[in-house]
Amino acid sequence: MQVTITDSGTANRVAYERSDGSRGGFTFPRKGPFPHDAVHFALEQALGMAHGFWGLIASGMEPDEVQAMAKAGGHASANRAGVPDEAIVELLQAERVVECLEAEIWAGPSDAATFREVARLTCENSHVASPEISDTALAVVRAHIAALQAQWQAGRIAFDWPEPA
């Protein structure tokens, strides 16, 4: 699946095309200096998260379906979260860890142990275990974000996400 994220000023426009020719897109409010969905890509790719946001989109789901699935699973927001349905655990893990990575984009990176502890606490708040994030995996995610940030300087990021067989 090919994905492109472009800056439209007040929002980020996300467009994707799967290998079967199906296409979709959405806008996401610009909340900071870097697109939220690009952080998802860096994390989910590095950790091999097949059932995070991009894996679900690649499998044929549409973004509103992903949102509805999270809501139906009791997770319209972390503040109202209960024990989630197993089908959304990886999606929730990705969302919570992405929030930690976005905090680093704003404030600078912490040491790996502190990052893992913050990720553990945010995941715990959503009643899911934190994914395993080794020092190496965290370094890969951070390096990938840095490379994507370089692309973003031109107002556009493009990447490929593998589709399920």
Give the whole-angstrom CA distance, residue 8 versus residue 38: 15
Radius of gyration, alpha carbons of the chain: 15
Mean predicted lDDT score pLDDT of the chain: 92
Contact between 56 and 49 under an 8 Å Cβ cutoff? The reply is: no
- Stretch 95-116: mean pLDDT: 96
pLDDT tens digit string along 1-28?
999 999 988 899 999 999 999 999 999 8
The share of the chain scoring above pLDDT 90, in percent, equals 79
Is 24 domain-assigned? Answer: yes
The share of the chain scoring above pLDDT 70, in percent, equals 95
Is 165 domain-assigned? Answer: no
Please give the tally of structural domains in the chain. 1
Between 2 and 79, the more confident residue is 2
Give the whole-angstrom CA distance, residue 14 versus residue 92: 20
Query: Kind of pairing, strands 2-7 and 156-160?
Result: antiparallel
Domain of residue 93, residue span: 2-160
Could you say which DSSP state residue 78 is in?
A: G
Q: Which of 9-13, 22-26, 80-84, 137-141 has the lowest mean pLDDT?
A: 80-84
Give the model's confidence band at 129: pLDDT under 50 very low, under 70 low, under 90 confident, else very high. Answer: very high
Does 70 score more than 90 pLDDT?
A: no
Number of residues assigned to the chain: 165
Sequence-distant (6+) residues with CB within 8 A of 63 are 24, 26, 57
Burial of 77 (0-12, 13-18, 19+ CB in 10 A): exposed
Contact between 144 and 54 under an 8 Å Cβ cutoff? The reply is: no
Give the model's confidence band at 74: pLDDT under 50 very low, under 70 low, under 90 confident, else very high. Answer: low
Give how far the C-alpha of residue 39 lies from the chain's centroid of Cα atoms, to the nearest Å. Answer: 5
pLDDT of residue 76: 54
